[in-house]
Amino acid sequence: MRIDNRSVLSFLVAAILTIVTAAAYADETCNSPYMTGLIKGQEDFVHVWTLGVLGMGDGSDKLVTVDANPASKSYGKVIDKISVGGRGEAHHMGFTDDRKYLWAGGLDDSKIHVFDVGTNPAHPTLVRTIDNLSAKTGYVGPHTFYALPGRMVIGNLSNAASKDGVTGLAVYNNKGDFVKKYDMPASEIKQLKGDGYGYDIAVNPAKNALLTSSFTGWNNYMRDLGELIKDPEAMKHFGNTLVMWNLKSMQPEQIFAVPGAPLEIRWALPDGQNWAITATALTSQLWLVKRDARGAWAAKDVAAIGDPAKIPLPVDISITADAKGLWVNTFMDGTTHYFDLTDPEHPKQTYAKHTGSQVNMVSQSWDGHRVYITSSLLSKWDKKGKDNEQFLRAFQWDGHELSPAFEVDFAKEQLGRPHHMKFTANAQRVAPAVGASTATASAR
Amino acid sequence: MRRSRGAAGAAATALCLAAGLNLAGEDPGKATAPRMEFVPPPPGSYTLQSIQRISDAVLLDSAGRAVRLSALTQGKITLLTFFYTYCADPLGCPFAHTTLANLRDRVTADRALAGRVRFVSVSLDPTHDTPAAIASYGQEFTADPEFEWRFVTARRVPELLPVLDDFGQDVSVDLDQYGRATRTLHHMLKMFLIDAHGEVREIYTLAFLQPQVIFNDIKTLALEAGSGPAAVRGRPSVSVQSKP
């Protein structure tokens, strides 16, 4: 067999392309823990899935990329934005298992936009838009995108028929082809009735466990918040359950009564841990789901977040890599809280800071040194007037104090309402061309 | 067969470039072996998803003969993984093959699965992993004539890339502290469970590489196929084309 220089060169071309493909190397702990390329160091970029606002810039939903590396000349600046050509209520995103792509959903138009963030994370590209979710499943409002090997599980919020909160999980393969749907349980399992509502997804492979939470349907999340809270009937239509699924069989096995719309779920991932945690939006509690010595799962409220009587509205959480700390953002009072989770059955708030007039998503870097916050909850739920700040704020965290690092004013820059964030980083310390030249020389 | 050391080195370098990895921050550390803290559901009590069909391609077997991928992924329940012969990561290719060897023993001990299961190991480095190299590497795994375990490579890298793309198998190369390509290929360990019709029904990454679960999945597919056409027995026909 003779080595063909052309084939070597062909591979070099592919190699050069792949150099950048392998780039995504920053993370926070809410991502699927078994994906490739998790990083513990400095992220280079923060991608922000941003709701379009009529009259603000092009008015379209967009993926905004911000330089987050302090060593960069463009640190703290917007370096790229990709509009998707409409306002579909941009909300959450999730990486594929290889972290090459970000799937980003619209809660109103139910479109799923797939961005390539691997080839060049500084400048993502829109490679595909999936618009058959409703046709394939009857569900609308794609919320959580959670990678399983070779495919994406999508947690939805509503359905096309009644647009209430009854919904389910949709599975697509990484090519964007529909695979299967699973309704959220609405019947009784072990003497507890499901509400059929959905929201977040969190998987623990070692326990064959998939845990889901529940929020509300399109009728509520696309309604003005001021009107909604004055409508007692509408306020009855919020999720009150967590569901434990058998991951292998994708069958719901246990329902937990968790009143007040349990939202984001995070598993404690270190060895020996057997619990997950969530926060309820309306009742402002931290809930622990823990397996006892006999192997039975149980859920219980373990701490209040702020003053529940004032409905501070916890909206997002971010757990530390060692599962000993938890960040919680409360939207109404614009506060970022830190809880010590050393004893997960008795979380203790050890820090709180007013970080904005309204704050929504919170994401901590894996190394724990940086915390990022965005402002927007939903287009119809954000505050009005001067309180309608729209920003991405980055902070340094020294274990005692959040210190401002940089801020991007999304209103001033005519970008829109910033919501979900994901981190990526450059793969190379050495320019790909240098490596390619070396390899080419070797080939000769 | 003649092969220059320089070209081989270049190929390894090129492969390394394909990975192109350097960590932007700290090394995330070695992967950990999968934990299994549950009793898996019994075979046949669940349905595996139909994830994707496999596109056909032409590869090379360990005797240097051209073989269609479809001949290796249809007619039997197939476990397919990607590897390279000089992989040294104890939780990489060696771990995959140890797991497969464990599964082979389980499968061969189960009379209901006799002749219905095959394993396929596809090299990620067709330049270095020649048919002779994969034949040598695969010797310890292919000694049992009653069990079909095929080691294959590709004639050239461009013929492998569409296969990797179709499976969604990433590959890249680690760089050393000076930014030079090393001989360590970085890839996400994936194992694909394919039914007798050529449809991927499950994918296992390291966290999911739990032998008992995989064995139950194989049994589930066997039960699903029953004694119908899907339960084809015997070795597949190999489409032999011209020698490379």
Is A106 a residue whose pLDDT tops 70?
Answer: yes
Q: Is B24–A44 a contact, with Cβ atoms under 8 angstroms apart? A: yes
Confirm or reject contact between B54 and chain A (CB < 8 A): no
Q: Binning pLDDT at 50, 70 and 90, where does residue B232 land?
A: very low
* Residue B160 falls inside a structural domain: yes
Mean pLDDT of chain A: 89
More confident residue, A278 or B228: A278
* Residue B116 falls inside a structural domain: yes
Q: Is A12–B3 a contact, with Cβ atoms under 8 angstroms apart? A: no
Assigned token pair, A245:
């699924």
Chain B residues within an 8 Å CB radius of A33: 207
Output the DSSP codes for B201-223.
EEEEEGGG--HHHHHHHHHHHHH
Is A34 a residue whose pLDDT tops 70?
Answer: no
Q: Is A36–B35 a contact, with Cβ atoms under 8 angstroms apart? A: no
Residues 164-223 of B with CB under 8 A from A: 168, 170-173, 175, 179-181, 186, 188, 190, 192, 200, 203-208, 213
Find the mean pLDDT for residues A80-96.
Answer: 97
**Smallest Cα–Cα separation from B121: which of B81, B164, B91?**
B81
Residue type, A12: L
Mutate to test the interface with A, among B22, B55, B209 (most CBs of A within 10 A): B22
Mutate to test the interface with A, among B3, B155, B157 (most CBs of A within 10 A): B157
CA dist A307 and A327 (Å) reads: 16
Is A308 a residue whose pLDDT tops 50?
Answer: yes
Poorest-pLDDT segment among A35-39, A220-224, A410-414, B180-184: A35-39
Assigned token pair, A93:
């995103």
A153: number of Cβ within 10 Å: 24
**Smallest Cα–Cα separation from B121: which of B174, B190, B34?**
B190
Chain A residues within an 8 Å CB radius of B24: 25-26, 39, 41-44, 425-427
* Residue B232 falls inside a structural domain: no
Residue whose entry in the numeric block shows the structure tokens 């870097």: A365
Find the mean pLDDT for residues B236-240.
Answer: 41
Of B49, B127, B156, the CB nearest to A180: B49
Residue B186 pLDDT? 79
Poorest-pLDDT segment among A64-68, A313-317, B187-191: B187-191
Partners of A337 in beta bridges: A328, A352
Poorest-pLDDT segment among A105-109, A227-231, B47-51, B205-209: B205-209
Residues B196-223 pLDDT 10s: 999 999 999 988 999 999 999 999 999 9
Chain B nearest CA to A37, separation (Å) = 8
Chain B residues within an 8 Å CB radius of A3: 3-4, 7-8, 10-11, 127
Residue A321 pLDDT? 86
CA dist B228 and B226 (Å) reads: 6
Is B175 a residue whose pLDDT tops 80?
Answer: no
Is B182 a residue whose pLDDT tops 80?
Answer: no
Chain B nearest CA to A293, separation (Å) = 12
Residue A33 pLDDT? 54
Strand A241-246 vs strand B66-68: parallel, antiparallel, or unpaired?
unpaired
Strand A417-424 vs strand A45-51: parallel, antiparallel, or unpaired?
antiparallel
Q: Binning pLDDT at 50, 70 and 90, where does residue B178 land?
A: confident
Residues A249-265 pLDDT 10s: 999 999 999 999 999 99
Q: Is A429–B157 a contact, with Cβ atoms under 8 angstroms apart? A: no
Residue B30 pLDDT? 46
Chain B residues within an 8 Å CB radius of A442: 6, 9-10, 13
* Residue B233 falls inside a structural domain: no
CA dist A47 and A33 (Å) reads: 19
Assigned token pair, B218:
């194989």
Q: Is B46–A442 a contact, with Cβ atoms under 8 angstroms apart? A: no
Is A234 a residue whose pLDDT tops 70?
Answer: yes
Residue B244 pLDDT? 34
Do B4 and A2 contact (CB within 8 A), yes or no? no
Find the mean pLDDT for residues B32-48.
Answer: 90
Residue B28 pLDDT? 38
Residue type, B48: L
Is B139 a residue whose pLDDT tops 80?
Answer: yes
Is A436 a residue whose pLDDT tops 90?
Answer: no
Question: B48: domain CATH number?
Answer: 3.40.30.10
Residues B79-123 pLDDT 10s: 999 999 998 888 889 999 999 999 999 999 999 999 999 999 999
**Smallest Cα–Cα separation from A355: which of A379, A378, A374, A383?**
A374
Residue B97 pLDDT? 95
CA dist B241 and A250 (Å) reads: 43
Q: Is A246–B157 a contact, with Cβ atoms under 8 angstroms apart? A: no
How many pairs of residues across A and B have Cβ atoms under 8 Å apart? 221
Chain A residues within an 8 Å CB radius of B28: 38-40
Find the mean pLDDT for residues A214-239.
Answer: 97
Find the mean pLDDT for residues B128-137.
Answer: 97
Q: Is B25–A367 a contact, with Cβ atoms under 8 angstroms apart? A: yes
Chain B nearest CA to A23, separation (Å) = 7
Instruction: Kindly compute the dihedral angle of the four CA atoms of residues A39, A45, A49, A51, in this order, to the nearest 10 degrees.
Output: 150
CA dist A337 and A345 (Å) reads: 18
Find the mean pLDDT for residues A150-176.
Answer: 98
Model confidence pTM above 0.80: yes
Mutate to test the interface with A, among B161, B172, B214 (most CBs of A within 10 A): B172
Q: Is A18–B13 a contact, with Cβ atoms under 8 angstroms apart? A: no
Chain B residues within an 8 Å CB radius of A175: 52, 168
Instruction: Answer whether CATH 3.40.640.10 is correct for domain A23-426.
Output: no
Tally of domains in chain B: 1
Residues 118-157 of B with CB under 8 A from A: 127, 130, 156-157
Q: Is A435–B9 a contact, with Cβ atoms under 8 angstroms apart? A: no
A349: number of Cβ within 10 Å: 16
Assigned token pair, A284:
């402002």
Residue B227 pLDDT? 59
More confident residue, B183 or A410: A410
C-alpha dist (Å) from residue A389 to A57, A68, B148? 16, 21, 64
Chain B residues within an 8 Å CB radius of A10: 156-158
Mutate to test the interface with B, among A97, A178, A208 (most CBs of B within 10 A): A208
Q: Is B35–A38 a contact, with Cβ atoms under 8 angstroms apart? A: no
Q: Is A149–B37 a contact, with Cβ atoms under 8 angstroms apart? A: no
Write the ipTM.
0.89
Chain B residues within an 8 Å CB radius of A36: 170, 188, 205
Residues A320-351 pLDDT 10s: 988 999 999 999 999 999 999 999 999 999 99
Of B24, B37, B170, the CB nearest to A207: B37
More confident residue, B127 or A29: B127
**Smallest Cα–Cα separation from B87: which of B193, B206, B207, B189?**
B189
Q: Binning pLDDT at 50, 70 and 90, where does residue A31 land?
A: low
* Residue B242 falls inside a structural domain: no
Residue B32 pLDDT? 56
Closest residue, chain B, to A178 (C-alpha): B51
Chain A residues within an 8 Å CB radius of B207: 33-34, 205-206
Domain ranges of chain A: 23-426
Residue A430 pLDDT? 27
Chain B nearest CA to A197, separation (Å) = 23
Poorest-pLDDT segment among A9-18, A85-94, A273-282: A9-18
Residue range of the domain that includes B128: 8-21+41-225
Is B12 a residue whose pLDDT tops 50?
Answer: no
- Please state, for a pLDDT cut of 70, what percent of chain A lies above it: 87
